[in-house]
Chain A
Amino acid sequence: MNATDENKTAAVRRIILDLLPPEEGDNPRIFGAGAPLDSLGLVNFLADLEYRLAEEFGREIVLASDRAMSRGRSPFRDVAALTEYVVELLAE
């Protein structure tokens, strides 16, 4: 990972954390058992996230893509997984 990628990853993580309720730990859970968001909360969060990503990176991405929905483990489960997934989408 080069410096630019590291900056991008850090920026994505910061945006994600900004939009989530405060949670303790390095990798807060987002959706699923024991996570803070219910289905409606996830919908609202992802809608906000798409708009924030567009503002920050100037890219119109759709988070509910075939790739996200066909994965064995949801990219929406925790902050690390979602950060990695968003960085992948931004790299396309």
Chain B
Amino acid sequence: MKTGRVIFITGTSRGLGLGLAEHCLAQGDTVCGCSRAPATLTDARYSHYELDVSDEKAVVAAVRAAVRRHGRIDALVNNAGIASMNHALLSPAVTAQQIFATNFHGTFLFCREVAKAMVRQKSGRIVNFTTVATPLRLEGESLYAASKAAVESFTQVLARELGPSGITVNAVGPTPVPTDLVKNVPAAKMDALLARQAIRRFGTIEDVINVVEFFLSPQSEFITGQVIYLGGVNG
């Protein structure tokens, strides 16, 4: 059993983030989580910050409070994300702003603030979240895929910037997992998407946890700037 890690996971009120937080707590880790909604987890080793990940002041305050409380942050998992399925010509400008605010700006802000603590520690692991929608260039998901393409590019450059400080930065790209994020996608669209995977099934939370744990593993200290897609999708 791994114990003693301090892990900050964003978007922990439901879906993958909640599953990841429960997994880490079961491993004996201390978990800091956040979401716009109140906490849905109750555990002595869990602390929750109610915030919007694109709110700079709120992110700065939460991360520094976590560092003061626990003395360090060993890993950051940038899970928080929103999706919007629509043809580009039918997408309101405000949707583009919201998707980039949460998916990219939120990832950037948490990386920046947590990395400041990790640079001082001279160690750390950052795992960002992308999607198979980006390499598959899925029609109807242009904004979502573009925001995650930004996350991938940011991940790879950040890996180079933080490598000398003993910090790895990687990304996991899940296939659709039956969570709230994909519940409004029509079944025919989902079937067509699954057909483009080498292994044609929905992903599970366990599939995602497996890749996250791989990146967090002490043995993965030489692995950085990488994007791993699930389901046999290639970048």
Q: Interface of A with B (CB < 8 Å)? A: 40, 43-44, 47-48, 50-51, 54, 60, 62
Contacts and interface: CB of A to CB of B under 8 A. Distances in A.
Contacts of B117: 47, 51
The interface residues of chain A, by DSSP majority, are classed as helix
A48 B120 contact: yes
Interface residues of B, number: 12
A58 to B, nearest CB: 11
A47 B120 contact: yes
Contact of A54 (B56, B64, B165): B64
Nearest to B65: A60
B61 interface: yes
B164 A40 contact: yes
Given A40-B164, A40-B165, A47 B60 contact: no
B119 interface: yes
A62 B57 CA distance: 9
Q: Which of B56, B67, B116, B119 has the most CB of A within 10 A?
A: B116
Given A40-B164, A40-B165, A60 B120 contact: no
A70 B9 CA distance: 33
A48 B118 CA distance: 11
A60 B61 contact: yes
A18 to B, nearest CB: 15
A54 B61 CA distance: 10
B119 A43 contact: yes
A40 B166 CA distance: 12
Contacts of B64: 51, 54, 60
Interface string B42-82: 00000000000000110011001001000000000000000
B3 to A, nearest CB: 26
B56 A47 contact: no
A51 B120 contact: yes
A6 B56 CA distance: 30
A44 B120 CA distance: 7
Nearest to B162: A43
Nearest to B112: A64
A47 B116 CA distance: 5
